[in-house]
Chain A
Amino acid sequence: MYDVSVAPDTQARVGRLMTQYREQKKTLKFLDSNLWLGRPMQPGFCSRWELNALVGYMDRYAIEGGIVTHNAAVVEDPYAANEELLGQTEGNGRLLSGLVLTTDLPPGYANWGDYLDWALSKGARMVRLFPKSHRFSLESWCSGSLLDSVNERHMLLTVWHIEVGWGAVRMLCERYPELPVIVEGRPQKILYHNRFFYPLLEQYQNLYLELHNLNVYLGIEDIVRRFGAEHLIYGSCMPVNDPNTSQMMVTAARIDEEARRQIAHGNLESLLERIQMP
Chain B
Amino acid sequence: MIVDSHIHLGLTVSAPCVDKSTGAVLALMNHLEIDLSISTGTALIFGRPEAGFRVALEAYRQSEERILSYAFFNPHYPEEDLSWARRCLEHEAFVGIKIHPPIAACYPDDERWNPIWRLASELGVPILTHSWWVSDYNPIQRYATPDRFEHYVKTYPDVNLILGHAGGRYEGHLAAAKLARAYPNVYVDFSGDSYSFGLVEWFVEQIGADRILFGSDLTMIDGRTVMGRILDADISAEAKALILGENAVRLFGLSR
Contact = CB atoms under 8 A, between A and B. Distances in A.
Given A2-B247, A213-B193, A11 B221 contact: no
Given A10-B1, A216-B222, 10 more contacts: A4-B238, A10-B246, A44-B197, A46-B196, A192-B14, A212-B195, A215-B193, A218-B18, A241-B197, A252-B227
Contacts of A254: 31
Nearest to A46: B197
Interface of A: 1-2, 4-7, 9-11, 13-15, 17-18, 21-22, 25, 42-46, 61, 188-189, 191-192, 194-195, 212-213, 215-222, 237-242, 244-249, 251-254
A217 B200 CA distance: 21
Contacts of B195: 212-213, 237, 241-242, 245
B238 A245 contact: no
B229 interface: yes
A13 B33 contact: yes
Nearest to B247: A2
Contacts of A46: 196-198
B33 A240 contact: no
A248 B199 contact: no
Contacts of A247: 228, 232
A240 B224 contact: no
B240 to A, nearest CB: 5
Contact of B170 (A44, A191, A192, A217): A44
A13 B2 contact: yes
A265 B15 CA distance: 29
A142 B91 CA distance: 64
Contacts of A219: 18, 222
A244 B242 contact: no
B150 interface: no
B98 to A, nearest CB: 18
A15 B237 contact: yes
A257 to B, nearest CB: 15
Contacts of B225: 215, 245-246, 248-249
A249 B224 contact: yes
B208 interface: yes
Nearest to B208: A1
A128 to B, nearest CB: 20
A216 B18 contact: yes
